[in-house]
Amino acid sequence: MVDDDEFGSGDAEQETRARRARITRELVENVRGLPPAEVPDALCRACVKLLPDVSGLSVSVQGNGADSGVVLCASDDVAAQLAEIQYTLGEGPGTEAVRLRAPVFATDLTRPPDARRWPLFSVQATKAGAQAVFSVPLAGAGRPLGTLDLYRDTVGSLSKDHVRTSLLVADAVTLAVTALDHSFTDPQGVVTWLEGVESDRDEIHQATGMIMVQLGVTAEEAVLRIRARAFAQGSTSTEIARAVIDRTLDMRRE
């Protein structure tokens, strides 16, 4: 965790700049020199060290459309499940943070108002092991680049200091993701560090296209059908997409 004492009692803005720089340096040092495939997980581990007040976290990157986001990295299985649940259901703090372009905190998913605001997500998230979720958008040009999603296995809000740190970590992650996306000298390898996490979403896009042809529906309806089937089966969108592609699931028989 970044130590506030090193900044003394200086100007608040100056302190924030210094703290942001320190966090950015820590993230950069943790990924420097690593092969592209290892960068996402290393970035996630570095974020966890900076945010010890949470049980786990994930970083998601938005694609060109609302249904084309990818989970860049997750600190544990629960964090990964939470990201997938939000994608499957199309609701949750992360989805809301992207829409509002502002942090969205759910401090108690077991009761209203959070349970009422995201009824499906709240049930699935608590089953997965999370009782509080905090989503911070990764600011991009024109729209959020993605989200930094934190969770706790107990209810309760983050302290003011941890909220502040989460915002600065999100800023640093935004810089890191943007820099990594343009840091490779080989034009063919600009996004090689994203290839692994993109593969799951490629399967969903492929399955969406197959369902559009089979049923004569729009892309939006095809995605909704995948989500609905995943929710009904207690599965994930990726698993349903793979079944469609493998032809072990035929939506025409629904």
Nearest to 130 by CA among 100, 94, 97, 96: 94
pLDDT at 110 over 60: yes
Instruction: Kindly state the tokens that stand for 169.
Output: 């970590």
Q: Beta strands of 5-145 (E only): which ranges?
A: 56-61, 70-74, 104-106, 132-138
The stretch 187-202 carries a mean pLDDT of: 48
Q: What is the spatial distance between Cα 88 and Cα 28, in angstroms, rounded to a whole number?
A: 32
Q: How confident is the model at residue 10 (pLDDT cuts 50, 70, 90)?
A: low
Domain ranges of the chain: 4-183, 192-253
CB-CB neighbours of 85 under 10 Å: 24
The yes-or-no answer to whether 4-183 and 192-253 have a common fold is no
Q: Rounded to a whole number, what is the largest CA-CA distance in the chain?
A: 68
Helix (H) or strand (E) holding 77: helix 77-89
Quick: pLDDT tens for 134-165.
999 998 666 788 899 999 999 999 999 999 99
Q: May I ask the CATH class of domain 192-253?
A: mainly alpha
Per CATH, domain 4-183 is 3.90.1150.10: no
Residue where the block lists tokens 């860049």: 72
CB-CB neighbours of 33 under 10 Å: 6
Quick: pLDDT tens for 218-240.
877 787 788 778 766 767 777 88
Nearest to 87 by CA among 194, 200, 170: 200
Nearest to 86 by CA among 130, 47, 55, 52: 130
